[in-house]
């Protein structure tokens, strides 16, 4: 499917952020990571499984996402790109960059980890990238290497 046809599906936005090249099927998790819920006010368009199920696209109007907000997306979709739109023009475009640490985004998969208790501590992980993305819990040492989206907070 060509880009113009996608344009027909979801109109161009005047101002805001377009997140493109999201791994197919991960758009809803991207919204979760960005903290966009049913209580959010932004106009959001979600397109899933376009270009022959190869990717998802999320468009958020009137909000320019900062790099530290979007880089967390790299956890579930390392090839995503961020386009900042002003007056229908792309004024900035970059790929998400996997941060070296994340805090408060993913919970530890170890039920006996101190971060899964009532203690006032946010789950924190050091990120390693070999072939796949690996999250190492700073507290208990448990490693999450598969189905990271299942552990999003």
Q: Does residue 37 bind another protein (CB under 8 A)?
A: no
Quick one: which of 46, 98, 140, 149 contacts another protein (CB under 8 A)?
A: 140
User: Tokens at residue 78, please?
Assistant: 């390392």
DSSP code for 141: -
Gap between the Cα atoms of 81 and 128, Å rounded:
21
83 vs 115 by CB, closer to another protein: 115
How many angstroms separate the first and last alpha carbons of the chain? 34
Q: How many residues touch another protein (CB under 8 A)?
A: 18
Least distance between another protein and beta carbon 76 (Å): 23
Gap between the Cα atoms of 31 and 62, Å rounded:
16
Using the contact rule CB under 8 A, the part of the chain among 18-26, 55-63, 70-78, 134-142 near another protein is 134-142
4 vs 119 by CB, closer to another protein: 119
Site string for another protein, 82-121 (x = CB under 8 A): --------------------------x-x-xxxx-xxxxx
Q: Does residue 17 bind another protein (CB under 8 A)?
A: no
Least distance between another protein and beta carbon 148 (Å): 17
DSSP code for 106: B
DSSP string, 4-20: HHHHHHS---SSEEEEE
Least distance between another protein and beta carbon 117 (Å): 6
User: Tokens at residue 9, please?
Assistant: 């599906």
**Cα–Cα nearest to 77, from 131, 36, 133, 35:** 133
Neighbours of 87 (CB within 10 A): 7
Residues near another protein (CB under 8 A): 108, 110, 112-115, 117-121, 137-143
């Amino acid at each position: 499917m060509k880009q113009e046809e996608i344009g027909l599906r979801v109109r161009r936005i005047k101002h805001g952020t377009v997140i493109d090249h999201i791994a197919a099927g991960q758009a809803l998790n991207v919204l979760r990571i960005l903290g966009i819920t049913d209580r959010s006010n932004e106009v959001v368009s979600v397109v899933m499984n376009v270009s022959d199920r190869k990717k998802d696209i999320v468009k958020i109007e009137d909000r320019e996402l900062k790099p530290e907000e979007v880089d967390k997306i790299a956890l579930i979709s390392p090839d995503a790109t961020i386009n900042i739109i002003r007056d229908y023009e792309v004024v900035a475009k970059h790929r998400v960059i996997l941060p070296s640490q994340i805090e408060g985004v993913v919970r530890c998969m170890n039920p006996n980890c101190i971060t899964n208790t009532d203690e006032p501590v946010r789950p924190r992980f050091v990120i390693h990238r070999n072939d796949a993305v690996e999250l190492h819990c700073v507290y208990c040492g448990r490693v999450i290497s598969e189905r990271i989206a299942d552990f999003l907070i």
